[in-house]
Amino acid sequence: MIMGVEPVFWVELILLLAGMIMMIMAFNSAMRKFFKVEKQKPFTNVHMNDVHKKADWTVRGFVILYLIVGHFANIHREPAEQIWYFNFIFILVVSIVATEGVQAVMEKKYAENPNAYKLTLSRMIFVVLLLLVLIITDFFGLI
């Protein structure tokens, strides 16, 4: 046992993450076919125009600043006394909603396919719900 972590923990964590990734990929594939939106290259950041690029990087900058402030606000607090809105999971959900929200707004305004923003919104809702389920169930008892 390394630092209080059971050896099977890492196997379970990897399986949980692999399952989440597969669920997100399957959902994205099904919704892409449903909305008739063409597949994008994985791990790419497609900007509609310069306004979108600036808005996206502004949101990312604020999220990074928020993470830093949250880290220093909670670093010396006991886990039960930490400020909830500086919690990493909360910041992660805010980050997903903000970046995907900007993406959806720009797709609604500028994308050639009128259904592209619907795919982005459905993916955002699915990922946030998946994260909430993981939080509520303590990562299915893993934590």
pLDDT in tens, 6-36: 778 888 889 989 999 999 999 999 999 999 9
The model's pLDDT over 72-103, given as tens digits with 9 standing for 90+, comes to 999 989 988 999 999 888 999 999 999 999 99
Q: Helix crossing, 88-110 with 50-74: angle to 10°? A: 170
140, pLDDT greater than 80: no
pLDDT at 143: 67
pLDDT at 126: 97
Please state, in angstroms and rounded to a whole number, the distance separating the CA atoms of residues 126 and 31.
Answer: 11
User: Which residue did the predictor score with more confidence, 88 or 58?
Assistant: 58
Confidence of residue 41 (pLDDT cuts 50, 70, 90): confident
Please state, in angstroms and rounded to a whole number, the distance separating the CA atoms of residues 126 and 27.
Answer: 8
pLDDT at 4: 66
Q: Tell me the Ramachandran region of residue 102: left when phi exceeds 0, alpha when psi lies from -120 to 50, beta otherwise.
A: alpha
Tokens 């934590």 belong to which residue? Answer: 143
Confidence of residue 44 (pLDDT cuts 50, 70, 90): confident
Read off the pTM: 0.84
- Token pair for residue 126? 């699915």
% of the chain beyond a pLDDT of 90: 65
What's the Cα-to-Cα distance from 75 to each of 61, 69, 86, 132, rounded to whole Å? 21, 10, 10, 24
Q: Count the helices and strands in the chain (H runs, E runs).
A: 5, 0
